[in-house]
Amino acid sequence: MSQKTSAVYARNPLTFILGALFLVGLTLGIHVPATGALAQASRAAPEAATGAGDRPAAPIRTQMVVAAHPLAARAARQMLRDGGTAMDALVAAQMVLNLVEPQSSGIGGGGFLLYWDAAEKRLATYDGRETAPAAAGPDRFLRNDGTPIRWPDAVGTGRSIGVPGIVPMLELAHQVHGDLAWDKLFAPAIKLAAEGFGVSPRLNLLLTAMGADAFNEEGRDYFFDDDGEPHALGEVLRNPALAISFKQIAEFGAAALSHGPIAKGIVTAAREPGVATLTLDDLRDYTAIVRPPVCAPYRGFSICGMGPPSSGGMTVASTLTMLADRDLGDAPNAAALHLILEAEKLAYADRNRYMADSDYVAVPAGLLDPEYLAGRAGTIDSGQTMGRAEPGIPPDLGMMPGNDVSSENAGTSQISIVDRFGNAASLTTTIESAFGSRRMVAGFLLNNELTDFSFAPVDDLGRPVANRVEGGKRPRSSMAPTMVFDAGGDLWAVLGSPGGSRIILYVVKALVAMIDWGMDPQEAAALGIFGSRNGPAELERGADMDAFAADLAALGHEVARPSMTSGLHIIRVTPDTLLGGADPRREGIAIGD
């Protein structure tokens, strides 16, 4: 990061004040989706917010990257300029994000990738989700008396650490879609790790919120000074250990993480007395999986996403299918919001009950059956809320799984890329919570993804929960990397967002904003957030949702006004230009040529 950028970050006292406000909320609530205060803080940074005024003056016609940090976006653009594909650019962006946005993603985590191959007109989806160690069982998150432990007591422990999947997945996808040599993709990240980068407002705030004691020794030594204070805004941070790890992966590929000193370091860092934590065999047995995309028609478009073990694609598809016959108007309005919330409640009720790793449990395909969904949609009353939705009985249901009590938290990033050949990548990548398990090894953080499992393996009626822990299984995700195709089968939009179990709400909001309400991607990303995860109507605290709160309450909704930090990164492909949208609530940027 340039001196200039660092200096501007450091000059912003507002960042500290707003950060402090955010911290109070965080220490009281410890639910890391950040607050509006943090969103404001990130807006104070140069290039951080990509509101309307920040958009490039010249139209972007050839290639575009939208990522959560300018340095990651630039590294990806460099690969595109060097003739690389979206796949090449994606690997470069992910590695730089590991360094500059370590709270959200990295080589110790996992993710899901949608890749559009323009020449073959083929959409592939890649599953790089973490797995539970082979020896993990249903008691992983249970006390001796059989009751589930609390989420905060699991997150920073070895119980939560899954076998990382992102590098094996990127390696697999690069073998198919990459053009540049694998080792070249690591050059920007290696250089930045060795030479340093400026600490961003968001990194500083989240470190302050988390505190040094949350980390293992390596993490503490890296992120905090000798007095236990986080490195300041703009301070140049070097990560030589990560530079070495990147060099190893550049040379040996994903094998560098499953063999040799890094692998041994992972196993040691993940250890937890009395718990079956991951072994070298777990690391070596990890396989990334190519899975079929989940697509649904909506207003003449095809909306495609990631199937199980993510619930993202199916829940977005189910929500939109239930809205397909409804008129949502041509701008946000209370009646439309009500219909969307009701459809989301029905979709989340099914998600919570039925969706999990389909390699371990039967996820009914009938959940997306148009007749089934028409029946569900028929229960939506435009004059009053249903309150809480019950799961339906899809036509191909085998055994009824138990009621799920999974809990999901923050620490994820979205990278959207379109290259000059028309290929596109949408990667949602995560270490789960902010800073994952807070255990750092070889310069990177290990995930806490296993806390996405239901802590209780059976419900009150003794029925096994679909998303229970099993050895080798992938925890259910909400990540929803998405691509939209027009009636001619051409790519129309690339998008996705972080946000834990709210990701689905964010993606649905952006899709409706662009498709129904005709917004451009920047407007769609910035639009106030609304949605329901089958609980209250959640309306983002802030001006543009105020207008709807009273009307929704009059329809019987319990209205909650949380701060919600989506990180929508969107590219709209039009016949002669690429339009970018970077969520103003974070530090992302859309750039291109």
Query: Smallest gap, in angstroms, from Cβ of residue 128 to ligand DON?
Result: 11
Which of the ranges 45-53, 495-503, 543-551, 556-564 carries the binding residues for ligand DON, by CB under 6 A? 495-503
Asked if 332 interacts with ligand DON (CB under 6 A), we say: no
Which of the ranges 409-417, 485-493, 513-521, 582-590 carries the binding residues for ligand DON, by CB under 6 A? 409-417
Give the HSE-up count for residue 288: Cα atoms under 13 Å, Cβ half-sphere. Answer: 25
Contact 527, 332 (CB under 8 A): yes
Which of the ranges 56-64, 296-304, 349-357, 410-418 carries the binding residues for ligand DON, by CB under 6 A? 410-418
Tell which positions 503-522 bind ligand DON, by CB under 6 A: 503
Which residue number, 102 or 265, has a Cβ lying nearer to ligand DON? Answer: 102
Which residue number, 500 or 584, has a Cβ lying nearer to ligand DON? Answer: 500
Tell which positions 417-456 bind ligand DON, by CB under 6 A: 430, 432, 449, 452
**Binding residue for ligand DON (CB under 6 A) from 436, 499, 521, 531?**
499
Query: Residue 446 belongs to what H/E stretch?
Result: strand 444-446
Which residue number, 117 or 408, has a Cβ lying nearer to ligand DON? Answer: 408
Asked if 479 interacts with ligand DON (CB under 6 A), we say: yes
Query: Smallest gap, in angstroms, from Cβ of residue 3 to ligand DON?
Result: 30
Length of the chain as a residue count: 593
Pairing of strands 64-67, 589-592: antiparallel
Contact 484, 296 (CB under 8 A): no
Asked if 130 interacts with ligand DON (CB under 6 A), we say: no
Which residue number, 307 or 499, has a Cβ lying nearer to ligand DON? Answer: 499
**Binding residue for ligand DON (CB under 6 A) from 164, 500, 581, 588?**
500
Which residue number, 432 or 516, has a Cβ lying nearer to ligand DON? Answer: 432
Asked if 498 interacts with ligand DON (CB under 6 A), we say: yes
Strands of 496-535 (E only): list them: 530-531
Asked if 411 interacts with ligand DON (CB under 6 A), we say: yes
**Binding residue for ligand DON (CB under 6 A) from 437, 454, 478, 563?**
478
Tell which positions 232-251 bind ligand DON, by CB under 6 A: none
Q: Helices 187-195 and 70-81: crossing angle, nearest 10°? A: 140
Tell which positions 26-45 bind ligand DON, by CB under 6 A: 33
Which residue number, 262 or 589, has a Cβ lying nearer to ligand DON? Answer: 589
Q: Would residue 436 be called left, alpha or beta, if left means φ above 0 and alpha means ψ between -120 and 50 degrees?
A: left
Residue from 5, 85, 315, 412 carrying the catalytic annotation: 412
Which is nearest to 95 in space by CA: 23, 186, 178, 165? 186
- Exposure string of 204-224, with b = 16+ CB inside 10 Å and e = fewer, is bbbbbbbebebbbebbbebbb
Concerning whether 412 is annotated as a catalytic residue, the answer is yes
Q: Helices 370-377 and 312-323: crossing angle, nearest 10°? A: 60
Instruction: Give burial (CB, 10 Å; 0-12/13-18/19+) of 550.
Output: exposed
Helix (H, G, I), strand (E, B) or coil at 85: coil
Which is nearest to 327 in space by CA: 299, 307, 353, 286? 299
Pairing of strands 537-539, 559-560: parallel
Asked if 410 interacts with ligand DON (CB under 6 A), we say: yes
Asked if 23 interacts with ligand DON (CB under 6 A), we say: no
Give phi and psi for 469, each to the nearest 5. -70, 135
**Number of chain positions touching ligand DON (CB under 6 A):** 16
**Binding residue for ligand DON (CB under 6 A) from 85, 477, 534, 563?**
477
How far, in Å, CA of 146 to CA of 489, rounded?
51
Which residue number, 26 or 250, has a Cβ lying nearer to ligand DON? Answer: 26
* Local structure of residue 185 (DSSP, 8 states): G
Q: Helices 201-210 and 36-43: crossing angle, nearest 10°? A: 150
Q: Which residues of this protein are in contact with ligand DON, per CB under 6 A?
A: 33, 408, 410-412, 430, 432, 449, 452, 477-479, 498-500, 503
| Residues annotated as catalytic (active site), given as ranges | 412
